[in-house]
Structures are given as C-alpha cells and as structure tokens.
C-alpha cells in the first residue's frame, strides 16, 4: 500500500469508520502475527497479542500523528505487548526461557523440484533461524525487522525506540555474530 | 573515517539506504578494499537465505475468523467499560438515596453493599495481578507510548 493510500485509510480510521479499520486489520494482520510470533514463538499467544495490539490501535488512533508511518507504531505496540506477556508468563513460570524453537514457523520460498537441494536448503534455513533466535534480544529484533519485514532504518528506529545510528550499529554487530555462528553453512 | 563511521556506511550501502552519489562514492572504496568486499559477500549470503524464508502462513480458516474474533474482543472491551461506568453511576445514586433515606431503602442498601464488595474484591484482585506483573515489567511505560 503506498503512503498516500495508507494515510487516507488512517484518516478514515480516525473518523472511527469500522470498514476502514477492518481494511487496516486485514492489511496488517499477517505481519502483526508474524512479528508477535518472533517474540512469543507460540501461535495462540501471537494471534492474541496481534489482536490486542489492534485493539490498542483502535483506542489510540486519535493520538497517532498524521504523516507518521503506521507499521513502526503497530510493531512497537506488538513488541511491548509481547515482552509484557513473556514477563508475565515467566513470573507465573508458564514458559521456560529456553523454550524450544518452533521450526514450523518458516516456509521455504523455493521452486526447486530437487528434493536433495530442498532438504539442504531447509537445513540451512533451520540453522539460520536457530542462530537468529540465539542472538541477544537487541540484535535479534533489528535482524527480524530488516530481513523479514523489510523495514527501513527510520522505521526500525521508530519501532524499537532507538536512534538510526544505533540501528546500523546493531545490524552490523548482529550480522557479524551470525556470520561467526553460521560460518559452516553460509 | 572512524571504524564506527565505516561500519555504518557499510550497513547503509548493503541495505540500500544511501543516496545515489554517496553510493557511487562508497562503491569505489569497496573496489579497493578486500575486507569490505569479503564482509559484503558474507552479508549477501545471509540475505540470500533469509530472503528464501517467509513466515509460515496459518490455515486460511484462522484468517477468515480473525476479524470476527478481533471484533468480539473489541466489543467486549467496550461493553466492560460501559458496564463498569454504569454500575458506578447506579451505585453512586443508590448510596445517595440510602444516605438521605436509610429506612426506606434497606433492601436497596443491601444490594449496594453486596455489589460494592464484589467490585472491591474484583478491583483488588486485578490490582494485585497488575502490581505483580509490573514489578517484573521493564516495558510497561513503552506499551502506551
């Protein structure tokens, strides 16, 4: 969706137009779920958090600055809701810090029909995802926002709440760490 | 150029965040710098793999129900808000009536007491849970940012 079309949609949402809001939710629901999942690694929690985030957006849409990009705002809400849920679950001992990674999270985009090649790529993908999950939170989130959601530096900075220079620096260090841990497969 | 400036430039080049002039200038540097070229190659390999991965989609039926499920939650949150505000107004009014005419409104007074005690228990329960979560919660201030 181009920026102008998104601004029109957001303007209609500000007028509490439910049809426009539905279009906004339909537009971003998969990305919202995917981003929540990268923190929570649980389908049900990720769906709930993504819906909670949309409820927060609905309630606070009047405070959303005109001209600002929507996705960083939505993602920052999802991030904070996810971290709160993780803390809550930790305090209730519902999850382990070393929760097993959900390997079914990613599909492989590949039109190759060679099963060996597919298997090899699948293994590489699994190792890359594992290495990303093992990064410190501050590095993991910038990698996910850049590599899987294709956000610009400015959008990542808005989402995470850090300066653009720090985004670059974190990306640099995160990629170096990934390079080290994935030396054998890349 | 400091090392930090250099690493940032490299990131901006790789992520296509440079304007054309700056990009061309940095490209010339890369042609003469083995370490930059090697690092860019490693990053390209990583990007190639991550580009081949996408978030696994949930079954279509989940997405079909998503809006309805979301809408129900939104509706319930609005309903709870209205219910609480309404109950507070009614209880306030009843308390006022009981105070000005205690004899006539004994049954109403009893209803008010039970409702208020119920509210107080619910309120304290929610408050206690919030405090427990917030004690370990480093992010609460950012949620409503």
Least trusted range by pLDDT, from A27-31, A155-159, B45-49? B45-49
- Those residues of chain B that have pLDDT short of 70 are 1-4, 102-105, 129-130, 132-145
Q: What is the pLDDT of residue B132?
A: 66
Give the distance from residue B135's alpha carbon to the nearest chain A alpha carbon, in angstroms: 10
- pLDDT tens column, A68-105: 889 999 999 999 999 989 888 776 655 444 444 454 56
C-alpha B50 chain-centroid distance: 26
- pLDDT tens column, B42-62: 889 889 888 888 777 788 889
Distances (CA, A) of A144 to A174, A178, B53: 11, 13, 11
Tell whether A64 lies on the interface with B, counting CB pairs under 8 A: no
Q: Are A87 and B63 inside 8 Å of each other by CB?
A: no
Structure tokens, B123: 């309120």
Q: Which residues of A touch B136 (CB under 8 A)?
A: 87, 90-91
Q: Are A182 and A131 in contact (CB under 8 A)?
A: yes
Cα separation, A178 vs A153, whole angstroms = 19
Q: What is the pLDDT of residue A33?
A: 93
Q: Are A179 and B42 inside 8 Å of each other by CB?
A: yes
Q: What is the pLDDT of residue A104?
A: 53
pLDDT category, A129, cuts 50, 70, 90?
Answer: confident
Phi, psi of B5 (to 5 degrees): -65, -40
**H-helix or E-strand containing A8?**
helix A3-14
Q: What is the pLDDT of residue B145?
A: 40
pLDDT category, A4, cuts 50, 70, 90?
Answer: confident
Q: Are B12 and A91 inside 8 Å of each other by CB?
A: no
Residues shown for chain A: 186
Tell whether A108 lies on the interface with B, counting CB pairs under 8 A: yes
pLDDT category, A171, cuts 50, 70, 90?
Answer: very high
Q: Is the pLDDT of residue A54 over 90?
A: yes
- The alpha carbon dihedral of A61, A65, A66, A70 has a sign of negative
Give the distance from residue A162's alpha carbon to the nearest chain B alpha carbon, in angstroms: 12
Q: What is the pLDDT of residue A20?
A: 92
What is the value of ipTM here, to two decimals? Answer: 0.74
Give the distance from residue B115's alpha carbon to the nearest chain A alpha carbon, in angstroms: 29
Q: Which of B17, B53, B67 sits opposite A106 (nearest CB)?
A: B53
Contacts of B61 (CB under 8 A, 6+ apart): none
């Amino acid at each position: 969706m181009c920026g102008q079309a998104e601004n029109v949609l957001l303007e209609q949402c500000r007028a509490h137009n439910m049809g426009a809001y539905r279009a906004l939710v339909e537009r971003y629901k998969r990305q919202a779920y995917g981003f929540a999942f990268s923190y929570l690694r649980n389908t049900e929690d990720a769906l709930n958090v993504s819906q909670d985030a949309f409820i927060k957006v609905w309630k606070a849409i009047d405070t959303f600055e005109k001209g600002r990009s929507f996705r960083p705002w939505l993602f920052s809400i999802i991030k904070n809701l996810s971290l709160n849920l993780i803390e809550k679950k930790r305090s209730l001992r519902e999850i382990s810090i070393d929760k097993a990674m959900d390997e079914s999270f990613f599909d492989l985009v590949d039109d190759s029909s060679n099963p060996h090649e597919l298997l090899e790529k699948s293994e590489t993908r699994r190792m890359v995802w594992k290495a990303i999950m093992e990064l410190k939170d501050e590095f993991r989130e910038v990698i996910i926002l850049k590599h899987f959601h294709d956000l610009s530096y400015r959008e990542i900075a808005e989402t995470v709440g850090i300066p653009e220079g720090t985004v670059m620096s974190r990306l640099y260090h995160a990629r170096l760490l990934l390079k080290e841990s994935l030396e054998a497969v890349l | 150029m400091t090392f930090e400036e250099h690493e940032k430039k490299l990131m901006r080049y790789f992520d296509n965040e440079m304007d054309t002039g700056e990009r061309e200038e940095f490209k010339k540097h890369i042609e003469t710098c083995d370490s930059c070229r090697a690092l860019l190659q490693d990053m390209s390999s990583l990007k190639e793999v991550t580009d081949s991965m996408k978030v696994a989609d949930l079954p279509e039926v989940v997405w079909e129900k998503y809006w309805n499920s979301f809408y129900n939650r939104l509706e319930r949150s609005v309903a709870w808000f209205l219910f609480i505000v309404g109950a507070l107004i009614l209880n306030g009014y009843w308390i006022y009536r009981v105070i000005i005419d205690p004899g006539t409104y004994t049954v109403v007074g009893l209803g008010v007491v039970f409702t208020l005690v119920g509210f107080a228990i619910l309120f304290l329960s929610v408050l206690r849970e919030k405090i427990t979560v917030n004690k370990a919660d480093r992010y609460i201030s950012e949620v409503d940012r």
